[in-house]
């Protein structure tokens, strides 16, 4: 969504920041799928229809046979599926994958993600591992790689330099370069941000048409991001294969579904993200679901509870639900997709919400399940999956109860298999629980020194601190930026003190979230949450070149995005006191880091801080 203008670039940018600092855990399972098994007496939703009771025999990562009372060799392990429903592993048709995305997806029964824009190097690495039969505990990835957008258009704001284009003549070379990089399909952005009350350059329709033709010439599908209904009409008429989103700016025109139908296109509504765009945190109900919560990381929980800031225009997810109803009545292929990990969504888990929203829009539960299995498999020509039938991949999801009647039953997961290998959900759950316990413990124990309140007065001539990890340089170079920063203990502190800490450097405008400055952490290591809630505010003295600077506060519950407050640094020492609550309402119970930084505006910065305290 162009919608995300600001909010998303922050998510994306800070996520890179966070991931680089926290060394994401990749689980690289190797194939061990030579032994077969049979699931007996389960209700089977085969991607299209329900078989009331049947058996599914899996051998060497593939489905060997489907039927009743299957005769299998005695040594084959049998799993009793009575009372359960077996489904094809689910496909999320709109995500942005990086970090632990694919691991989280598979935990929740999503065995394939169709990524609509990520770092090309990440996609290449994952696909190499997939080809080697590794990554069996990660959802299978298909990716657009880099998206097609105009210079300065949506997609360029994330800090990753991407090749743009602006005329039809560049289309074939652009598409061929993506295919050479490994793009499985071509994602195109047509969004001038007006649906959200903004302005942004976007591709003209001639260039879009040329891109679609160039992709088709090479046998690739095109999926289009649009922000408003008017653009949806235009891109479908230009020959697009599918819409990567529905619009939330208006109810559907009477002929909308007819137009899509006439052009044999498909639609990925992404109601989940549209809900968050309309100001409702889409994932809130997922967080309180006892079947799902134990598998959610603290960061995902924070993300699921978030929505986009209110836009000045009247956007409503309800418009999109009406459009889905119209499309479904016209038998337009509808594909379940979430746009995770945008605010209000997380990988894997949000597809369960998407199914619920599709049913709310008028799909039967079985139709919604097809939207997450056979329909995307057919639309994206993934002929080896999305259905339970002999010869198909043994990507499977076993759940308790009957989601073909009650869609919420998809959340009560018994087992997930990728290529016949069962995902070790129990270990994952234990890891998540342990991490949560540790952070709770850390957050409960305030370190010695908090009571006295003084963090640093620099009187000993060093950038150290009375407790926690002393001040260290932090710049956006870890996220691909070019900003530079230096710190130096200088003579002449506030209140007649001997010393202060001077921060100087240059913010490079290359990143929209550019920063450079210093970071301090209250615990033994950066980002370890510590309970500072016995204090109410952060105070410090500052003087400087007259520029506006920022205090950033990372909290565990705030996830990967720091809360920030700006301050002015003038020629005379001035005391600044910032209540914890001014940082997105935190009470300070789980602070992982505090930063003083310049940026994001480009240019030189020079300011001093002194007598930094908790009060
Ligand atoms: Zn997206």
Structure tokens, 90: 């689910």
Q: What is the pLDDT of residues 451-488, one digit of tens each?
A: 889 999 999 999 999 999 889 999 988 777 889 999 99
- Tell me, in angstroms, the distance from the centre of ligand 1 to residue 338's CA: 8
Distance of CA 472 from the midpoint of ligand 1 (Å): 35
The CA 481 to ligand 1 mean position distance, Å, reads 23
Expressed in angstroms and rounded, the spacing between residue 339 Cα and the centre of ligand 1 is: 5
The three-point CA angle 129-91-76 to 5° equals: 70
- The DSSP string of 299-335 is HHHHHHT--PPPPSS---HHHHHHHHHHHHHTT--B-
pTM across the whole model? 0.80
Distance 571 CA to ligand 1 centre (A): 45
Return the HEC string of 514-569: CCEEEEEECCCCCCCCECCCCCCEEEEEEEECCCEEEEEEEECCCCCCCEEEEEEC
Q: How confident is the model at residue 34 (pLDDT cuts 50, 70, 90)?
A: low
Q: How confident is the model at residue 21 (pLDDT cuts 50, 70, 90)?
A: very low
Centroid of ligand 1 to alpha carbon of 482 (angstroms): 27
Residue 26 has pLDDT above 70, yes or no: no
How far apart CA 466 and CA 450 sit, in angstroms, is 9
**8 Å CB contact between 1 and 245:** yes
3-state helix, strand, coil in the chain (%, to 5): 30, 25, 45
pLDDT averaged over every residue in the chain: 91
- 132: which 2 tokens? 């080697």
SS3 471: strand
The per-residue pLDDT for range 59-70, each reduced to its tens digit, is: 999 999 999 999
**Dist. CA 355 → ligand 1 center (Å):** 18
DSSP state of 288: T
Residue 29's pLDDT is: 40
Peptide bond before residue 507 is cis, with ω within 30 degrees of 0: no
Give the residues across from 358 on adjacent strands: none
Q: Check whether 30 has a pLDDT greater than 50.
A: no
Tell me how far the alpha carbon of residue 523 lies from the centroid of ligand 1, in angstroms.
36
What's the gap in Å between 8 CA and the centre of ligand 1? 10
Q: How far is the CA of 439 from the centre of ligand 1 (A)?
A: 31
Mean pLDDT, to the nearest integer, of 365-385? 98
Cβ-based neighbours of 294, under 8 Å, separated by 6 or more:
429, 432, 433
Which helix (H) or strand (E) covers residue 131, if one does?
A: helix 120-131
In tens, the pLDDT along 57-110 reads 999 999 999 999 999 999 999 999 999 999 999 999 999 999 999 999 999 999
CA distances from 368 to 261, 325, 413, 567, 593 (A): 19, 12, 17, 50, 43
For the chain, the distance separating the N- and C-terminal CA atoms, rounded to the nearest angstrom, is: 41
288 C-alpha to center of ligand 1: Å?
25
CA of 116 to the centre of ligand 1 (A): 6
> What is the whole-number distance in angstroms between the Cα of residue 270 and the centre of ligand 1?
9
pLDDT reported for residue 574 = 95
Residue 420: pLDDT band by 50, 70, 90 thresholds?
A: very high
**pLDDT tens across 172-229, in order?**
999 999 999 999 999 999 999 999 888 899 999 999 999 999 999 999 999 999 999 9
Distance 300 CA to ligand 1 centre (A): 17
Query: How far apart are the CA of 359 and the centre of ligand 1, in A?
Result: 22
């Amino acid at each position: 969504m162009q919608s995300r203008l600001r909010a998303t670039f922050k998510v994306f940018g800070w996520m890179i920041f966070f991931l680089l600092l926290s060394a994401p855990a990749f689980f690289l399972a190797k194939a061990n799928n030579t032994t077969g098994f049979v699931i007996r007496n389960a209700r089977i939703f085969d991607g299209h229809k329900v078989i009331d009771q049947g058996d599914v025999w899996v051998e060497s990562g593939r489905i060997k046979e489907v039927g009743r009372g299957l005769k299998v060799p005695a040594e084959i392990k049998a799993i009793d599926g009575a009372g359960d429903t077996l489904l094809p592993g689910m496909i999320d048709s709109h995500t942005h994958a990086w970090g632990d995305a694919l691991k989280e997806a598979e935990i929740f029964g999503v065995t394939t993600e169709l990524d609509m824009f990520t770092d090309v190097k990440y996609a290449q690495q994952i696909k190499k591992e997939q080809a080697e039969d590794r990554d069996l505990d990660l959802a299978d990835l298909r990716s657009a790689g880099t998206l097609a957008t105009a210079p300065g258009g949506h997609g360029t704001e994330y800090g990753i330099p991407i090749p743009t284009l602006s005329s039809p003549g560049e289309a074939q070379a652009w598409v061929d370069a993506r295919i050479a990089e490994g793009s499985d399909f071509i994602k195109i952005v047509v969004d001038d941000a007006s649906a959200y009350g903004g302005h942004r350059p976007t591709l003209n329709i001639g260039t879009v048409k040329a891109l679609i033709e160039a992709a088709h010439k090479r046998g690739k599908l095109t999926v289009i991001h649009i922000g408003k209904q008017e653009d949806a009409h235009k891109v479908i008429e230009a020959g697009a294969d599918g819409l990567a989103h529905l619009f939330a700016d208006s109810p559907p025109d009477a002929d909308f579904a007819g137009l899509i139908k006439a052009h044999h296109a498909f639609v990925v509504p992404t109601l989940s993200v549209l809900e968050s765009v309309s100001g409702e945190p889409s994932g809130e109900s997922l967080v309180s679901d006892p079947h799902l919560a134990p598998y959610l990381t603290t960061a995902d929980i924070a993300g699921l509870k978030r929505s986009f800031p209110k836009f000045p225009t009247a956007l409503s997810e309800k418009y999109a639900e009406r459009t889905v109803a119209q499309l479904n009545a016209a038998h337009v292929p509808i594909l379940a997709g979430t746009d995770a990990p945008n605010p209000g969504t997380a990988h894997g888990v949000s597809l369960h919400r998407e199914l619920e929203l599709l049913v709310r829009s008028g799909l039967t539960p079985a139709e919604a399940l097809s939207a997450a299995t056979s329909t995307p498999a057919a639309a994206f020509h993934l002929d080896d999956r999305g259905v339970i039938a002999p010869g198909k991949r043994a990507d499977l999801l076993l759940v308790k109860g009957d989601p073909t009647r009650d869609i919420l039953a998809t959340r009560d997961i018994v087992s997930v298999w990728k290529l016949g290998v069962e995902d070790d959900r129990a270990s994952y759950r234990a890891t998540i629980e342990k991490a949560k316990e540790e952070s709770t413990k850390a957050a409960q124990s305030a370190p010695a020194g908090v009571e006295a309140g003084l963090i640093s007065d620099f009187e000993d001539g060093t950038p150290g601190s009375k407790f926690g990890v002393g001040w260290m340089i932090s710049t956006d170079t870890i996220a691909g930026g070019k900003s530079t920063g230096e710190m130096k203990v200088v003579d002449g502190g506030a209140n007649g003190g001997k010393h202060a800490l001077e921060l100087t450097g240059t913010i490079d405008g290359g990143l929209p979230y550019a920063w450079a400055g210093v970071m301090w952490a209250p615990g033994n290591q950066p980002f370890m949450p510590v309970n500072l809630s016995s204090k109410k505010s952060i105070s410090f003295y500052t003087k400087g070149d007259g520029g506006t600077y920022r205090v950033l506060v990372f909290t565990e519950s705030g996830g990967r995005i720091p809360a920030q407050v700006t301050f002015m640094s003038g020629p005379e020492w001035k005391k600044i006191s910032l209540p914890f609550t001014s940082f997105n309402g935190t009470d300070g119970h789980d602070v992982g880091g505090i930063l003083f930084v310049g940026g994001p505006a480009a240019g030189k910065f020079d300011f001093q801080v002194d007598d930094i305290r908790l009060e």
